[in-house]
Amino acid sequence: MVFDTFLRLILGSKKDVNTNYLIHFQDLSTSAIQRYN
């Protein structure tokens, strides 16, 4: 996802935080996609 790359650029220096945030963000994205489809 484009968002993954964007967040990696922002949080790339904190890999653990980055990974956890991406997982959380993907969960939110999935929920949003399911909600609007």
In a domain, 35, yes or no: no
Instruction: State the pTM of this model.
Output: 0.37
In a domain, 37, yes or no: no
In a domain, 14, yes or no: yes
Please answer whether residues 18 and 8 qualify as being in contact, where contact means their C-beta atoms are separated by less than 8 angstroms. yes
Which band of pLDDT confidence, cut at 50, 70 and 90, is reported for residue 32? confident
pLDDT tens for residues 17-27?
A: 667 777 778 88
Alpha-carbon torsion angle 6, 9, 14, 20, nearest 10? 10
State which residues form the domain around 6: 2-29
Residue 36 lies in a domain: no
The count of domains in the chain is 1
- Indicate if the pLDDT at residue 13 is higher than 60: no
Question: In this structure, is residue 34 part of a structural domain?
Answer: no
